[in-house]
Amino acid sequence: MRASSAMGLVATGYSRALVELTALLVDPELGARVGAVRAIACGNPREAELLLRAKALFGDAEPQVVGECFTGLLSIEPDESIAFVASYLSHADEAVCELAALALGESRLDAALAPLAKAWDGVLVGAELRALLRAAAAHRSEAAFEWLLAIVADARPAVVADVVDALSPYKHNAKLMQRLTAAVSRRGETALLERLAALDR
């Protein structure tokens, strides 16, 4: 209820709406904090940017709240926020790293892809690697798809399987699937071809 009220307060155009919402950023309830971040992102961009950056910097017990800050920042001040969000790709909390990656990918900003590719060079295994692949897939740009297909050509089989999984939401995109099938086929590895074929089941 308070989350809905927060959004409603911003929608009224009340000049002190964001000031009133600062208390919700430290509310004991997760839903209230998430709702506050989303509402703040709909307010005055300059004030919202300040509050969301501060919340991200101070952190939260629930990474989801910080992730909402990333999404909001990339929406209201994209050019100024890419580097800020990208700085969290090496955060000590793995969940925060993943949320930063996904926020960059889902923003679909042209400049958001470069930090993901740079972070990829320093990642070898684990959930962060898969998050970067999902983020690239979420970017949905030709450059992102080309990058993922290049990974298929050179990476070890386990990583290629993760690329196939990351691209699974696009299994009905015939052109992309043809390109992916061709890239996997060139490797000549039966297990990977079976993984790809399973997308149609």
Task: Using the CB atoms, write b or e for 87-125: b if 16+ within 10 Å.
Answer: ebbebeeebbbbbbbbbbbbbebeebbebbeebbeebee
Look at residue 37 and give its three-state secondary structure. Answer: helix
Look at residue 13 and give its three-state secondary structure. Answer: coil
Specify whether the CB–CB gap between 148 and 129 falls below 8 A. Answer: no
Closest alpha carbon to 68 in 29, 101, 37: 37
Residue at 172: amino acid letter: H
Residue 8 is predicted with a pLDDT of: 65
At 35-54, the pLDDT tens digits run 999 999 988 888 999 999 99
Whole-structure pTM value:
0.91
Domains, the chain, in order of start with CATH, read 1-110 (1.25.40), 123-200 (no CATH)
C-alpha–C-alpha distance, residues 119 and 100, integer Å: 11
At 69-92, the pLDDT tens digits run 999 999 999 999 999 999 999 999
Q: Can you say whether residue 59 is alpha, beta or left, with left for phi > 0 and alpha for psi between -120 and 50 degrees?
A: left
| pLDDT band, very low/low/confident/very high, at 121 (cuts 50, 70, 90) | confident
Closest alpha carbon to 117 in 84, 95, 139: 139
